[in-house]
Amino acid sequence: MNYKVINLLQTREIRSSLTTSEENIVDFIEKNFNNIPNYSVLKLCEESYSSQATLNRVCKKLGFQGFSELKFAIKEDLDLMIKSKNNYIHNAIFYIDNINFNEINNIIPILKNNRKILLYGLGASQITAAYFQRQLLYLGFQAIMISEEKMMESFDDFIIFIISSSGETLRIKHVAKNMKELGREVIAITKKESSLDKIASLSFTHNISIDKLNVIAREQQLHMIIMVNELINRFQIG
């Protein structure tokens, strides 16, 4: 973030140039950053036990003509912080609003009755699969990550969780279809109405569009981690 004052206060060169009295003012500004726009020169000097001359020197060392200009820059930093925070909240709400949490109710009874789980995921979704495995192990499940389809045939009494954000990877679809044809129970964590969703016995899905041309967008897993977390939490509540 391009903060005007926050970054300056952390600059080593500026810190090393301060006298002890100037450093006291900078420390006071850092500790009371959110309220500085409401301070007058007299109030700040009184509460920080400093002189106006010292405050003026601090402002100039930070690159500002005076305290009024410094206060304005701090206000801009605070506005930017609020905007950034709101963006993070908006993004989190977007993910939550586009996950079909009600579908968990169909999966929980299966987990209660069978504590043997195979986990399969490719690419970035393999990260989510590994995270899911770790959570299941904490709960006492026999949870195994599988990288090769042939290995799945050796665990015929295990439930298979296939994890794919897009649900359209050719290898993912091939594995899911073959396991279903072998009579295996396949549960998917994937996109709603994707090929994987349609093949699986049960699915826990999201409605977030996957931009296949944008590698970063395609590989993002935050919504998948949220889904796994909620699945684990519901199982514990139970």
Residue 117 phi, psi (nearest 5): -130, 130
Question: According to the model, what pLDDT value does residue 16 have?
Answer: 87
Between CA 174 and CA 180, with CA 176 as vertex, the angle to 5 degrees is: 115
Residue 93's identity, in one-letter code, is I
Strand, helix or coil for residue 159: strand
- CA–CA dist 104, 108 (Å, integer): 6
Task: Name residues of the chain where pLDDT drops below 70.
Answer: 1, 211-219, 238
* pTM (whole model) above 0.75: no
Query: CB–CB of 58/18 below 8 Å?
Result: yes
Q: What is the pLDDT of residues 165-199, one digit of tens each?
A: 999 999 999 999 999 999 999 999 999 999 999 99
The radius of gyration computed from the CA coordinates of the chain, to the nearest angstrom, equals 27
Q: What is the pLDDT of residues 76-103, one digit of tens each?
A: 999 998 888 888 888 888 889 999 999 9
